[in-house]
Amino acid sequence: MPQLLIELFSEEIPARMQARAGQALQTLVCDRLAGAGLSGSAVRVFAGLRRLTLVVEEVPERAPDRTEERKGPRIDAPAAAIEGFLKASGLASVDAAERRDTGKGVVLFAVTHIPGRPAVEVLPALIAEAILALGWPKSMRWAHGTMSWVRPLRSIIALFDGAPLPGGISFGDSRSGAAAGYTPVVAGAGLAYGAVTYGHRFLAPAAIEVTSFADYAERLAAAKVVLDPVERRARIEAGAAALAASAGLTVVPDPALLDEVTGLVEWPVPLIGRIDDAFMDLPPEVMTTSMRSHQKYFACRTAEGALANRFIVVSNMETADGGAAIVAGNERVLRARLSDARFFWDQDRRQPLEEFGRQLADRVFHAKLGSVAERVGRITDLARSLAPVVGADPDLVVRAARLAKCDLAAGMVGEFPELQGVMGRYYALQQAERPEVAHAIADHYAPAGPNDRCPTAPVSVALALADKLDHLVNLMAAGERATGSGDPFGLRRAALGILRLIRENGLRLDLRDWLQRVPAVHPAPLEAIRLFVVERLTVVLRDAGHSAGRIAAVLTADGALDPVQVEARLTALAGFLGSDDGTNLLAAYKRATNILRIEEKRDGKSLDRPVDPGLLVDEAEQALHHALEAMRAEAATAMAAEDFSAAMAAFGQVRAPLDRFFDRVTVNADDAHLRLNRLALLALIRATFDRVAQFGAIDG
């Protein structure tokens, strides 16, 4: 069966957009192929600097025949309704419609048999639709067209069964209002489908005509283009490692930079350069940030783990001198970058860190939340309150909080914003601040993501918690929200950071209480914030292997939001439900609560009331009541000690008496007093179990 090959060849596509665009193109094309009945057997997509490529194997040569049905009115409907249906369906008369008895009368149906068309007739418009539907975070527009694209689109390969498809796309005309779209015969501004691509911009720029994907990939490789991003990445990684090893060094791992550089080159050529020794006394973070952010260089380190005076640059060129001129040029550029860094380093250290803090009053944190200086005041108050909870010295926490944001006004952070906190630590150490204070300045931004380390030093933990609590509560109080499409203010990151700090440090605090204690500039929607945190905690706990039902059961047990206790309850619950007693008691609990729900709905009131021992006339209900009282006392003691496993183990005492109760006792007795007392007994079971977890929320 035929192969479909599509290549969109353009000017340089930003590296960060390539992979997502490739996947989007695959989805757009394959969805349309499926809708037309032309799905292939295998699909591959390749994204790179100047091209998005899609190949679909074994595409049918012809779309299948299909039948479309339109349901109409009943045969005895008013004539106007029938006439309208016939006209809309293109039927000449009512005799052309099918009659079907639907059980609610005989209904008219318009049945249209549509013969399949050759794929070569269907594919051109289908491909144009997919291309025009491909969205980009940022786009450019043609001077006299309505079509937008990330960069100027230069050519389109649309090859089916070895031959170019007819037609192409038009760019539209902004002057006449004509929209971009598919055109059978390209006229004016547009691109015709073809079979021509181009190799490396400088090493092999000539046009290349191709006949299949295998031919395409082979010819591109010969034209100095590595099509597959996985192969490009592997070449860069292996080449960089070999160069570093030749100098007795290793490359500092940087997966994100590796991904970015993979998208910046078509023919990767790693080269090694040298850093001027005059800059080696700069903080390592300053040097690596300068190399990474501006130049896309990989840093190297020695066997001892120190930053080495070498860097790896990945060129997109092969040169006759083996890259010597490229290396020399990059060394020269790096010297200029590091000279700037040296200037900021020397300038910043001429004044105490506190002096930078004077400028924070002029820096707006948020239009509705005031300046950064005002935020520092809120964080300081909150961190002081948190200090005893985390076992930190309050004086040190306050000092760290007051200095935490000062480096935002420093020259180095202005040049390299990603060094906020890091530079504050260096400047604090230089002015002989306590190490706990200096490290807290750097640590309070952490954890910034799932792979970021989590602070453990008490002063750092108190400050990091205060920073994130203030961020979350006050931004939500200001009306900011995270949505499914974005989280521009990092609210999810703040909530997840709070949860990691608590869980990984084993902190015992009820977030429901602490969310209320955050100094809020505006009235905070505390219930919305609590639910937002609960949603994040649910995700974290599900990732840890707990089911959604069990998480809900524990989170709704007493309304508290103590993440460490929630996890302890979940662990105990898992052990309990994994036992025979737990499985049987869960079934009995649900039976009891189902009875209560029905009877409470009938009576219109809660059946929670004291049990009257004098009305327990049957031995089975007496035995259940006795077992319940003993179990409640034992469970209460265990709960007070937060021994949730022991509390749930105590539940096992009522398994046998509860089974006998249901076997021998009629709950809805004719005697109204006996009925209410037996229902109160079941309500006592519900209340006791629900202190540990809302068992009704558990599946199974």
Confidence check: pLDDT of 187 > 80: no
The DSSP line for 215-268 is HHHHHHHHTT----HHHHHHHHHHHHHHHHHHTT-EEPP-HHHHHHHHTT-SS-
Lowest average pLDDT, out of 433-437, 521-525, 553-557, goes to 553-557
3-class DSSP string for 477-519: HCCCCCECCECCCCHHHHHHHHHHHHHHCCCCCCHHHHHHHCC
What is the pLDDT at residue 543?
93
Closest by CA position to 49, among listed 11, 20, 21, 22: 11
Lowest average pLDDT, out of 223-237, 249-263, 430-444, 549-563, goes to 549-563
Confidence check: pLDDT of 29 > 70: yes
In tens, the pLDDT along 625-652 reads 999 999 999 999 998 898 989 988 888 8
CA distance 550 to 698: 5
CA distance 355 to 458: 26
Is 455 inside any structural domain?
Answer: yes
510 and 415 in a common domain: yes
**CB of 625 within 8 A of CB of 657?**
no
Looking at the chain, the whole-number percentage of residues with pLDDT higher than 70 is 98
Domain boundary (324, 348, 372) is at 348
In tens, the pLDDT along 63-119 reads 988 888 899 999 989 989 989 999 988 888 888 889 998 888 899 999 988 888 999
In tens, the pLDDT along 316-360 reads 999 999 999 999 999 999 999 999 999 999 999 999 999 999 999
Residue 19: how many other CB atoms lie within 10 Å: 15
In tens, the pLDDT along 607-618 reads 899 999 999 999
**CB of 270 within 8 A of CB of 330?**
no
For residue 508, what pLDDT band results from cuts at 50, 70 and 90?
very high
Residues with Cβ within 8 Å of 173's Cβ and at least 6 positions away in sequence, in order, are 144, 145, 146, 188, 189
Residue 381: how many other CB atoms lie within 10 Å: 17
Average pLDDT, the chain: 93
Confidence check: pLDDT of 700 > 60: no
538 and 498 in a common domain: yes
Domain boundary (303, 321, 348) is at 348
Looking at the chain, the whole-number percentage of residues with pLDDT higher than 90 is 76
Query: What are the strands, taking DSSP E only, across 278-347?
Result: 298-301, 307-315
Contacts 24+ apart (CB under 8 A), 408-412: 408/356, 408/360, 408/363, 408/372, 409/356, 409/357, 409/359, 409/360, 409/363, 410/344, 410/348, 410/356, 411/343, 411/344, 411/347, 411/348, 412/286, 412/341, 412/344, 412/345, 412/348
Is 557 inside any structural domain?
Answer: no
What is the pLDDT at residue 185?
60
Tokens 């000017």 map to which residue?
A: 11
Domain of 531, CATH number, reads 1.10.3210
Domain boundary (500, 528, 544) is at 544
Q: Is the dihedral of CA 368, 373, 379, 380 positive or negative?
A: negative
Tell me how many domains the chain contains: 5
97 and 8 in a common domain: no
For residue 535, what pLDDT band results from cuts at 50, 70 and 90?
very high
Q: Which amino acid, 398?
A: V
Q: Is residue 667 helix, strand or coil?
A: coil
Q: Which residues pair with 106 in a beta bridge?
A: 101
Domain of 678, CATH number, reads 1.10.730.10
The DSSP line for 126-192 is HHHHHHHH---SS-EE-TT-S-EESS-EEEEEEEETTEEPS-EEE--BTTTTBPPEEESS--SSEEE
- Range of the structural domain that residue 99 is part of: 66-114
Q: What are phi and psi of 198, to 5 degrees?
A: -140, 145
Is 549 inside any structural domain?
Answer: no
Mean pLDDT of 194-213: 96
Closest by CA position to 463, among listed 402, 509, 401: 401
Contacts 24+ apart (CB under 8 A), 28-32: 28/129, 28/130, 28/133, 28/134, 29/54, 29/56, 29/126, 29/127, 29/130, 30/56, 32/126, 32/129, 32/130
CA distance 404 to 630: 54
CA distance 462 to 390: 6
The DSSP line for 615-638 is G--SHHHHHHHHHHHHHHHHHHHH
527 and 388 in a common domain: yes
Is 381 inside any structural domain?
Answer: yes
Is 569 inside any structural domain?
Answer: no
Sheet with 106-114: strands ordered across:
66-74, 106-114, 98-101
419 and 275 in a common domain: no
Q: How far is CA 344 from the centre of its chain?
A: 36
660 and 622 in a common domain: yes
In tens, the pLDDT along 575-600 reads 988 888 888 888 888 889 899 999 98
The DSSP line for 57-110 is ES--SBPPPEEEEEEEEETTS-HHHHHHHHHHHT-SSGGGSEEEE-SSSEEEEE
Residues with Cβ within 8 Å of 472's Cβ and at least 6 positions away in sequence, in order, are 491, 494, 495, 498, 529, 532, 533
Q: Based on the number of CB atoms within 10 Å of its own CB, is 18 exposed (0-12), middle (13-18) or buried (19 or more)?
A: buried
Mean pLDDT of 523-541: 95
For residue 556, what pLDDT band results from cuts at 50, 70 and 90?
confident
- Structure tokens that stand for 671 in this block: 């005697």
For residue 506, what pLDDT band results from cuts at 50, 70 and 90?
very high
Is 555 inside any structural domain?
Answer: no
Closest by CA position to 439, among listed 469, 472, 396: 396
DSSP letter assigned to residue 546 = -
494 and 399 in a common domain: yes
Give alpha helix (H) positions in 505-642: 511-517, 526-543, 548-555, 563-577, 580-603, 619-640
Exposure string over 91-115, b if 16+ CB within 10 A, otherwise e: beeeeebeeeeeeeeebbebeeeee
Q: How far is CA 81 from the centre of its chain?
A: 51
Mean pLDDT of 673-691: 90
Residues with Cβ within 8 Å of 510's Cβ and at least 6 positions away in sequence, in order, are 560, 561, 562
470 and 422 in a common domain: yes
Confidence check: pLDDT of 186 > 60: no
In tens, the pLDDT along 398-410 reads 999 999 999 999 9
Strongest mean pLDDT among 149-153, 238-242, 552-556, 673-677: 238-242
CA distance 280 to 276: 7
How large is the greatest C-alpha to C-alpha distance in the chain, in angstroms? 104
481 and 512 in a common domain: yes
129 and 233 in a common domain: no
What is the pLDDT at residue 262?
98
Closest by CA position to 650, among listed 629, 670, 634, 674: 634
Is 559 inside any structural domain?
Answer: no
Is 558 inside any structural domain?
Answer: no
105 and 74 in a common domain: yes
82 and 38 in a common domain: no
Q: Cα angle at 407 between 405 and 411, to 5 degrees?
A: 145
Confidence check: pLDDT of 133 > 70: yes
